[in-house]
């Protein structure tokens, strides 16, 4: 009997672990295959200047998993610490582990980081972290304070755009090259083929990505989430995957047998992909399917109605009225889509409603997945007697930062001096956006819902420890890299890794001392 209980419990742990990994994958894959392509189309339709898109839409695509996971944690009852620890833990991991790994990997190369951009990005991130520390010390934040915190990033973005406009006006487009955010660089497995992508995504100025209507795949638009994309992954013999996406299939793949490992994985991914494909409008040329387009606009209102009814306690009549209204709206939209679209090509007119629909429904799926992810982490905390905030600091932060580690290191190792510059810039610009936008939006939601009273922030000592170690890591970078002539070295990387190891040991020691690892409460 006891053996049977242990076996059942072990199987349950395995199933929950697999589901946790699947949720991390879904969060990254939704950003890579749905959210980013909507952002790209939106940038093109709004005719945003490349620099403005580089400091607004690109970081939003990069930081979407972190931002929405932290928002889901704040919205959930008593889970604010999970969101705070996730963002800060991810920032420490990226600025120490990812930057340190890059430095050790390229130490033998003669590369130099642009000092002006490096100092600018690190100083802005340092100012943001110190501001967050002051807010936590005060213990509360008002709507004005939350807006001011988000406004720090607005000032940073304005400075970058103004600097670019001034350099364009002066005709000085080739000097003082800065890379404010992660650039567009093709990542195809472990190799990086950057010549064509650079030519396609950069024009006169090399410091910002140019979002153009080219054949550049959307999955390489944001390198941070490129590893999660499956659009160009699995294909069948006729060039489409099991759920109808058009794909590029090589001659070698066509000669393979009808059964292959990649095809099996495609079918196994079907339950994870089909619900999103049926509710998120996609109008990309390579992925166009009229059947899915009609289905997505038909079922999207029903999904919204389902979420509304699950989040609000309504009477039975109201529930059925909401479902009926959503069903009628979906049928109307589906009928219009069926009449106005062609089978062989996506719509060429009225693109903005399609793009906004894809953008909005991607956010809805972020909300669903992130809520489930945070709830699962809380469940793990209850099962194993661990404070969920520690899981947010480690498991959630590591899971959301794996994309940065893999893509940035690959970019630095294979991309030459420019690749190192872009990768190192991403190690600070990414956490900056996640901190200012992610936590800023969370504080704004909390303070707005609690107005006219201020929103009470967590006074956990561990959060101040997180901020302290993050400041130490940033100061180490700000002092040691210029001292070494802006050339990454092994000693610089080892120092960053040591800071993270000490930080992790300190936080775990604090948790054991306070009983957080033995009591989830």
In a domain, 334, yes or no: no
Domain residues for 130? 17-170+367-512
Instruction: Please check whether residue 457 lies inside any domain of the structure.
Output: yes
375 assigned to some structural domain: yes
Please count the structural domains in the chain: 1
**Residue 129, token pair as written in the block:** 């972290």
Tokens 């520390």 appear where?
A: 133
Residue-wise burial string across 441-452, b where 16 or more C-beta atoms lie within 10 A, e elsewhere: bbbbebbeeeee
Domain assignment present for 156: yes
Supply the pLDDT for residue 50.
60
269 falls within a domain:
no
Residue 163: what pLDDT? 75
Q: Are the beta carbons of 234 and 241 closer than 8 angstroms?
A: yes
Report the CATH number at residue 68. 1.20.1420.30
In the DSSP assignment, the letter for residue 212 is -
Beta bridge partners of 455: 141
The answer to whether residue 210 is domain-embedded is no
- Rounded CA separation 491/469 (Å): 18
Low-confidence ranges of the chain (pLDDT < 70): 1, 48-62, 75-80, 168, 170-265, 513-521
Whether the CB-CB separation of 489 and 107 falls below 8 Å is answered with yes
Cα distance between residue 58 and residue 211, in whole Å: 10
Closest CA to 205 of 158, 166, 159, 153: 166
Reported as type and span, the H/E element at residue 167 is helix 143-170
Q: Residue 79's pLDDT is what? A: 59
pLDDT of the residue at 517? 59
Identify the pLDDT of residue 129: 94
Within-domain flag for 345: no
Q: What is the pLDDT of residues 490-516, one digit of tens each?
A: 999 999 999 999 999 998 888 776 655
Whether 120 maps to a domain, the answer reads yes
207 Rama class: left (phi>0) / alpha (psi -120 to 50) / beta: alpha
Give one DSSP letter per residue of 102-148, joined into a string: HHHHSTTS-----HHHHHHHHHHHHHHHHHHHHHHHHTEE-HHHHHH
Cα(233)–Cα(240) distance, rounded to whole angstroms? 11
CA separation for the pair 74, 68 (Å, rounded): 10
Helices (H), 341-395: 351-384, 388-391
Residue 80 has a pLDDT of: 67
Sorted by sequence, the CB contacts under 8 Å of residue 13 that are 6+ apart come out as none
User: 431: exposed, middle or buried (C-beta count within 10 Å: 0-12, 13-18, 19+)?
Assistant: buried
Place of tokens 């213990």: 139
Enter the pTM of the model: 0.73
């Amino acid at each position: 009997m006891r053996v049977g209980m242990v076996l059942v419990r072990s199987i349950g742990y395995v199933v929950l672990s697999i589901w946790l990994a699947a949720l991390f994958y879904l969060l990254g894959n939704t950003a890579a295959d749905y959210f980013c392509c909507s952002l790209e189309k939106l940038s093109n339709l709004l005719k945003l200047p490349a620099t403005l898109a580089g400091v607004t839409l690109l970081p939003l695509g990069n930081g979407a998993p972190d931002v929405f996971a932290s928002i889901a944690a704040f919205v959930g009852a008593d889970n604010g610490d999970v969101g705070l620890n996730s963002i800060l833990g991810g920032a420490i991991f990226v600025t120490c582990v990812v930057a340190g790994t890059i430095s050790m990997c390229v130490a033998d190369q003669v590369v130099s980081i642009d000092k002006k951009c490096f100092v600018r990005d690190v100083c802005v991130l340092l100012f943001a972290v110190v501001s967050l520390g002051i807010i936590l010390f005060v213990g509360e934040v008002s709507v004005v304070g939350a807006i001011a915190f988000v406004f720090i990033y607005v000032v940073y973005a304005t400075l970058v755009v103004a600097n670019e406009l001034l350099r364009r006006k002066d005709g000085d487009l080739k000097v003082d090259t800065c890379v404010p955010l992660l650039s567009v660089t093709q990542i195809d497995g472990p190799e990086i083929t950057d010549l064509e992508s650079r030519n396609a995504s950069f024009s006169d100025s090399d410091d910002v990505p140019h979002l153009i209507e080219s054949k550049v795949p959307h999955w390489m638009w944001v390198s941070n989430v490129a590893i999660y994309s499956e659009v160009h992954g699995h294909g069948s013999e006729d060039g489409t995957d099991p759920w109808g996406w058009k794909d590029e299939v090589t001659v070698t793949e066509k000669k393979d047998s009808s059964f292959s490992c990649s095809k099996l994985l495609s079918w196994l991914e079907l339950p994870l992909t089909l619900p999103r494909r049926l509710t998120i409008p996609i109008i990309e040329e390579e992925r166009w399917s009229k059947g899915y387009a009609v289905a997505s606009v038909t079922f999207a209102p029903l999904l919204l109605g389902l979420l509304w009814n699950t989040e609000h306690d309504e009477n039975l009549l109201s529930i059925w009225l909401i479902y009926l209204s959503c069903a009628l709206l979906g049928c109307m939209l589906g009928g219009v889509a069926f009449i106005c679209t062609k089978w062989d090509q996506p719509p060429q007119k009225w693109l903005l409603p399609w793009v906004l629909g894809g953008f909005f429904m991607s956010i809805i799926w972020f909300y669903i997945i992130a809520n489930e992810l945070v709830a699962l982490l809380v469940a793990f905390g209850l099962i194993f007697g661990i404070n969920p905030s520690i899981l947010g600091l480690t498991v959630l932060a590591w899971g959301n930062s794996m994309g940065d580690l893999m893509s940035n290191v690959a970019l630095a190792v294979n991309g030459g001096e420019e690749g190192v510059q872009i990768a190192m810039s991403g190690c600070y610009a990414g956490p900056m956006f996640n901190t200012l936008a992610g936590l800023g939006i969370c504080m704004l939601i909390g303070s707005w819902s609690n107005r006219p009273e201020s929103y009470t922030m967590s006074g956990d000592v561990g959060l101040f420890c997180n901020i302290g170690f993050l400041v130490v890591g940033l100061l180490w970078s700000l002092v040691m890299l210029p001292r070494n002539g802006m050339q990454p070295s092994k000693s610089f990387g080892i120092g960053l890794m040591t800071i993270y190891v000490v930080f992790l040991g300190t936080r775990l020691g604090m948790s054991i001392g306070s009983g957080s690892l033995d009591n989830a409460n």
